[in-house]
Amino acid sequence: NDLTRGLAALGSAAENCATRAGAAGLDFARCVQDAASYPNFLLPRPLFDEALRNASCRLPGASRALRRHTLDISAGGSDCSEQARRLDVEVFREHPPVALIKGFAPNATCARLLLVAGGLDSLSPAVARGVAGGFYRRSSSKNVANHELDAHPALQSLRAEMFLAAKQLTGYSLNSTSPEPLNIAAYRNPGDEYRPHCDGRCSGDRHRPGERVATSILYCQVPTEGGHTTFTHDALKIAPSEGDLLVFGYLIGQTMARGEAEHSACPVLAGGKWIATQWYAEENG
């Protein structure tokens, strides 16, 4: 029938376009749309997004950075000394930004964070779209309350540095006085994943003061196979190392991005993965 044919066409168009999308400038979503003459088959939008996302997960190798630069951040240490750090940054997209900071957090900081969170066994099935442990988000997670985090100088400065880095890499003014809690998430079983979604409102309309505009993901454990973070609409496939921090924003001028904000965690194929996600709200709320 039409749906089956449409899905097959989408799938192969997506594979095809994803392989070619390594070349800068190719609009992956547009390529798939044109090749599969979507929406002629009248496929629901989520199926289109699924096809894009599955193709981006199956891309051979990872995306290459457009450019690299260094970032100097200095968060006041617990002894009030200024500790300046110079970090290597890989930029994968300029607007809205997607950038990976290499070696952001040492192993010991991740270990401390996990200890404070109560260990991986204390996490509960993650909730997405109001459903826990569902098909949409197969992982487990937990929020670490701000007062728990702030009780540990190493974690307090970890977060201070996250905010500095996120501000500098996005250029947004972010609310650091009342941050959202840090979210710990683990993908422990083969097939665990987080299907394509947006962290904020990917509505394409004018942004509202004080709403969520950026995300950072600290990768504390990366799987040996699979589990990449992908940006569905431009076939970006990020392959971080342990300790790296991914920062991405979803504002285009004063407008909330749409497809550019959509991302996913590909299914873990081997090994385990755990991350710490910080969501950032704009300052004027």
- Distance, CA of 201 to CA of 281 (rounded, Å): 12
- Map the footprint of ligand AKG across residues 204-233, applying CB under 6 A: 217, 229
Q: Can residue 185 be called a binding residue for ligand AKG (CB under 6 A)?
A: yes
Amino acid at 255: T
Residue 159: which of ligand AKG, Fe ion, none does it interact with, CB under 5 to 8 A by kind? none
CB-wise, 109 or 230, nearer to Fe ion? 230
CB-wise, 74 or 277, nearer to ligand AKG? 277
CB-wise, 15 or 180, nearer to Fe ion? 180
Least CB distance to ligand AKG at residue 119 (A)? 19
**Could you say which of 199, 234, 262, 282 contacts ligand AKG (CB under 6 A)?**
199
- Distance, CA of 249 to CA of 93 (rounded, Å): 10
Q: Can residue 280 be called a binding residue for ligand AKG (CB under 6 A)?
A: no
CB-wise, 31 or 199, nearer to ligand AKG? 199
Q: Can residue 263 be called a binding residue for ligand AKG (CB under 6 A)?
A: yes
Counting every residue written for the chain, the total comes to: 285
- 3-state SS, the chain, equals CHHHHHHHHHHHHHHHHHHHCCCCCCCHHHHHHHHCCCCCCCCCHHHHHHHHHHHHHHCCCCCCCCEEEEEEEEEECCCCCEEEEEEEEEEEECCCCEEEECCCCCHHHHHHHHHHHCCHHHCEECEECCEECCCCEECEEEEECHHHHHCCHHHHHHHHHHHHHHHHHHCCCECCCCCCCEEEEEECCCCCEEEEECCCCCCCCECCCCCEEEEEEEEEECCCEECCEEEHHHCEEECCCCCCEEEEECEECCEECCHHHCEEECCEEECCEEEEEEEEEECCC
Contact 74, 85 (CB under 8 A): yes
- Distance, CA of 19 to CA of 17 (rounded, Å): 5
CB-wise, 41 or 194, nearer to ligand AKG? 194
Binding string, 181-200, against Fe ion, x = CB under 5 A? ------------------x-
CB-wise, 199 or 260, nearer to Fe ion? 199
Residue 265: which of ligand AKG, Fe ion, none does it interact with, CB under 5 to 8 A by kind? ligand AKG
Query: Cβ atoms within 10 A of the Cβ of 23, count?
Result: 7
Least CB distance to ligand AKG at residue 53 (A)? 12
- Map the footprint of Fe ion across residues 199-238, applying CB under 5 A: 199
Residue 231: which of Fe ion, ligand AKG, none does it interact with, CB under 5 to 8 A by kind? none
Least CB distance to ligand AKG at residue 33 (A)? 24
Residue 275: which of Fe ion, ligand AKG, none does it interact with, CB under 5 to 8 A by kind? ligand AKG
CB-wise, 31 or 233, nearer to ligand AKG? 233
Q: Can residue 99 be called a binding residue for ligand AKG (CB under 6 A)?
A: no
Q: Report the interface residues with Fe ion, using CB under 5 A.
A: 199
Which residues bind to ligand AKG, rule: CB under 6 A? Answer: 185, 194, 199, 217, 229, 263, 265, 275, 277
